[in-house]
Copies of this chain bind each other. A is one copy, B any other.
């Protein structure tokens, strides 16, 4: 492995001049530059990032902290999408991505602080899980930039999140436009911030149609498919069941579809079902699930951009939510009552 000194010797210049060439700095004659570049190409020289980092006080590495608890907010493919987005943006800046998973948020928090203090990473992206508290406590005490993907309690922390509100608005409007008036809702308890937002979206969309969310049409799950099935059955067992059900995440929507099947109801003919997230299985379900797509890739890109802005010392402008998208598939249709009328 050649060092900068060897390159300098071979090109008969000083290391300082080689450094200028490598970093595209001026005050090197065209001829000298060419000579050095040839030597670099011949030897396959790649500057040592750790040496470079040492003098520049940068590691050119971004950290991605994933407090990987079982009750995590996001489904796995979504996480991979986020990583792809961060990676893509990081690559543009010649940054690399370091992954740190941990069982509990508390562990992840201390690991993150260690990584920052030991200057393995220059900045960190934290994926929100239900309990972000350990992070905010540990990370606000140090100066390196960090960004949360999700929602945060403290207003001071920089966050990037999808337009959960807008997505729910779109989905609900879609059902209303199809003619549904009795719309069941499945939320969860405890309710993460994202679901809170979605709930607001539903309320406002109903409000636009001069409807109010009927408490009797709200069921509560725990985000799992099983809980969705149970909640769905509860709604459908009512004397006056809803003609459509909006589950605030896809997995619970799957449960609803299963509950409907058990009761002999056909989706979408007898019951429309809408989910949220657009996890990969959603398209494979029969019927394919109408849902709101979480823009994982875009979230990753936005988080990385924000981080770089902070690293560059630029005051980041207020960042709006990343647009979500309604994906129309086969699980929604006009209600039967309309067809009859």
Contact = CB atoms under 8 A, between A and B. Distances in A.
A194 interface: no
Interface string A115-148: 1011110000000000000000000000000000
B61 A120 contact: yes
Contact of A284 (B46, B100, B225): B225
Given A76-B77, A225-B284, A119 B49 contact: yes
A80 B83 contact: no
B48 A119 contact: yes
A318 interface: no
- Copies of this protein in the assembly total 2
A116 to B, nearest CB: 9
Contacts of A97: 98-100
Interface string A61-80: 10010001000000011011
Given A98-B98, A101-B84, A50 B59 contact: yes
16 contacts: A44-B117, A48-B54, A49-B118, A49-B119, A50-B50, A50-B54, A51-B54, A64-B99, A76-B280, A79-B80, A83-B101, A87-B100, A97-B98, A98-B99, A99-B99, A281-B281
10 interchain residue pairs of minimum CB distance: A46-B117, A46-B118, A49-B118, A99-B99, A50-B53, A50-B50, A49-B120, A97-B99, A98-B98, A76-B77
Interface of A: 1, 44, 46-51, 53-54, 59-61, 64, 68, 76-77, 79-80, 83-84, 87, 96-101, 114-115, 117-120, 225, 254, 258, 280-281, 284, 286
